Amino acid sequence: MTTPQDSDHPSPGPADDADLSASLAGLAGLSSLGSTLETVLTRIAEYAVQAIPGADGAGLTLLEPDRADLIVKSAPFVVEVDDIQYDLGEGPCVDAAAQGRTMRSGSLGGDPRWPRFGPRVGRLGVHSVLSLPLITPTGVVGAMNVYAHAKHAFDENAERVGEIFAVPAAVSVQNAHILAQAQRLAQHLEIALAHRAAIDQAIGILRARSGLTADEAFDRLRQLSQHQHRKLAEVAATIVQEAVNRARHQHRPPPAPSS
């Protein structure tokens, strides 16, 4: 989105295209395996700073419908700027994600689109922003804020470069998100299986002690859980551990006779 004061722009140079190419190559080689989602997204934000002429720092916001949005940054000052934006619920990244289009400003302090956000970040010495929606075939997965301290730091060429970079960046963000979701699901399944095993073992112990049926033993577990205000799996684990401790004590060899 072009503002009137940004109408006079230099033409793109070979250095800009070289930086973009290097950043795109970095994206292509970026792997989520062995890295946290936050680490991968931070690396993407760092590549954006490398790719877009005039950038001093960048933040990336991942929209997660069932979780709090994940926000990362490439430089410390971005944290303060984005905190203001999200506390107010007003700013270029908010609009870029909501409207699915690029937002650009070279004088945030006087930009009428963000009358509360702009002056506050302007007083911090941050005057230019380029906000890019991260769009995939399934929709907007997030947005990227690229900031500069100088006024009018981003021209039409910077916007062009940013929009080119945002296409594969969106795919990288989506892929990293999908992998993170799969890893979370696997962890939840692993925990659920461990809990199920403990519950089954506890049911077996109660049946052996009291001659209960499986249903009766499970009801006994639920009653204990409610009475103790503890999760069912925790109660089951306690029963199993107590049974193990008793078995160890019973099979402990007698002390050797003294000479």
Confidence (pLDDT) at 126: 95
Specify whether 20 is located in the same domain as 44: yes
Task: Report mean pLDDT in 10-residue bins for the chain, 259 residues.
Answer: 42 66 76 75 91 93 72 88 92 91 95 95 95 91 93 94 92 82 72 77 84 85 86 85 79 61
Confidence (pLDDT) at 1: 46
Confidence (pLDDT) at 73: 83
Confidence (pLDDT) at 8: 40
Confidence (pLDDT) at 10: 43
Decide the pairing of beta strands 70-73 and 103-105: unpaired
Specify whether 73 is located in the same domain as 139: yes
CATH number at residue 178: 3.30.450.40
Specify whether 120 is located in the same domain as 216: no
Give the bridge partners for 144, in sequence order. 60, 132
Domain tally, the chain: 2
Domain assignment present for residue 259? The answer is no
**Last residue within a domain, chosen from 132, 156, 182:** 182
Q: How far is CA 82 from CA 77, 152, 185, in A?
A: 9, 19, 30
From 231, 238, 239, 246, select the one nearest 205 (Cα to Cα): 239
- Structural tokens at position 116: 């509360």
Specify whether 47 is located in the same domain as 145: yes
Q: What is the Cβ-side half-sphere exposure of residue 135, based on CA atoms within 13 angstroms?
A: 13
Give the bridge partners for 134, in sequence order. 142
Domain assignment present for residue 60? The answer is yes
Confidence (pLDDT) at 251: 65
Specify whether 127 is located in the same domain as 235: no
pTM, to two decimals: 0.65
Domain assignment present for residue 14? The answer is yes
**CA-based angle 115:147:41, to the nearest 5?**
115
**Last residue within a domain, chosen from 164, 182, 200:** 182
- Structural tokens at position 118: 């702009």
**Last residue within a domain, chosen from 182, 197, 228:** 182
Three-state DSSP class for 64?
A: coil
Specify whether 140 is located in the same domain as 192: no
**What is the per-residue burial (b if ≥16 Cβ within 10 Å, else e) of 38-63?**
eebbbbbbbbbbebbbbbbbbbbbbb
Confidence (pLDDT) at 13: 57
CATH number at residue 212: 1.10.10.10
Specify whether 119 is located in the same domain as 192: no
Q: In what order do the strands lie in the sheet with 139-148?
A: 70-73, 57-62, 139-148, 128-136, 103-105
Specify whether 105 is located in the same domain as 116: yes
For residue 214, what are the domain limits? 184-250
Specify whether 128 is located in the same domain as 41: yes
